[in-house]
Structure 1
């Protein structure tokens, strides 16, 4: 007995049309991996400098932060940590909202609140890092203020 031969495959009732979404999801997946690795380096470097170098945790006070942020290197380091952590977390929450919010209006409202709150944190955090001035008090005895 021979097997029946199939010469053609019937056409589907409704042809599948792939949605053109671009590479946004792929790029956000890659961003999560890259930012996660970079955050590990930034956070452990931050912890090492703040907790292990010098007097450790007992040296962390206003003067320590003021001295650290007087150096542009540490401003950029903390800014990179802030931005990467905020965007990494926002992207993760965006993915959770997309996965679990079933209604389009709920998804829209939650993502709008997420983007708005992330923008506020990024703007305020950036302003604090770059406009921080420990010498606003004329009686300040910080070394940073006396070297002006």
Structure 2
């Protein structure tokens, strides 16, 4: 007696969908590792190197953001942290909320993440330490020497 085993279903017969949960899971792992490097580097430069926490003021931030390296560093940290946190909140919302409440919460997470990314990026890329530097002092001297 011979048993016939049916042919396995071919994956080519049906269209493949993007597995968003898999990509979200993968993003959380990769962004988590990158965030560890970015955050601890940020903390080291701001709190340990140089004069430590006592050196952090407007001029310190202006000096950091005058260097494109730190602009990219802080922008990458901002984007990764906000998207990482939003993805975590999305996962919690999917686990515990149902129906209309779930859709409202997911929409609120999406809107707040987009607004914060846009505002944070706007601050980083449009930061100008010389606005309002006409009052005198070290900043006014820096801005007149610069321009």
- TM-score bracket for this pair, using the shorter chain length: 0.7 to 0.9
Structure 2 CA distance for partners of 1:144 and 1:80, relative to 1, 3 Å: farther
Q: Please give the per-residue CA displacement for 1:7-44, whole angstroms capped at 9, x wherever unaligned.
A: 9xxxxxxxxxxxx7531100000000000000000000
**Structure with a larger share of its residues in helix:** 2
Q: Does 1:107 align with 2:106?
A: no
Structure 2 CA distance for partners of 1:144 and 1:42, relative to 1, 3 Å: farther
- The equivalent position to 1:127 in structure 2, one of 109, 122, 125, is 122
In the other structure, the counterpart of 2:65 is: 69
Partner Cα distance (2:51, 2:22) in 1: 44
Partner Cα distance (2:133, 2:80) in 1: 35
Q: Tell me if structure 2 keeps the 8 A contact 1:66–1:144.
A: no
Q: Tell me if structure 2 keeps the 8 A contact 1:36–1:88.
A: yes
List alignment gaps of at least 5 residues for structure 1. Answer: 1-6, 8-19
Structure 2 CA distance for partners of 1:144 and 1:43, relative to 1, 3 Å: farther
Partner Cα distance (2:45, 2:32) in 1: 20
List alignment gaps of at least 5 residues for structure 2. Answer: 4-15
Q: TM-score, normalised by structure 1?
A: 0.82
Aligned length: 129
CA-based RMSD? 1.6
In the other structure, the counterpart of 1:56 is: 52
Structure 2 CA distance for partners of 1:138 and 1:22, relative to 1, 3 Å: closer
Question: Where has structure 1 moved over 6 Å in runs of 4 or more?
Answer: none
In the other structure, the counterpart of 2:40 is: 44
Matching of residues 77-116 of structure 1 within 5 Å: 77-102=73-98, 104-116=99-111
Q: Does 1:136 align with 2:131?
A: yes
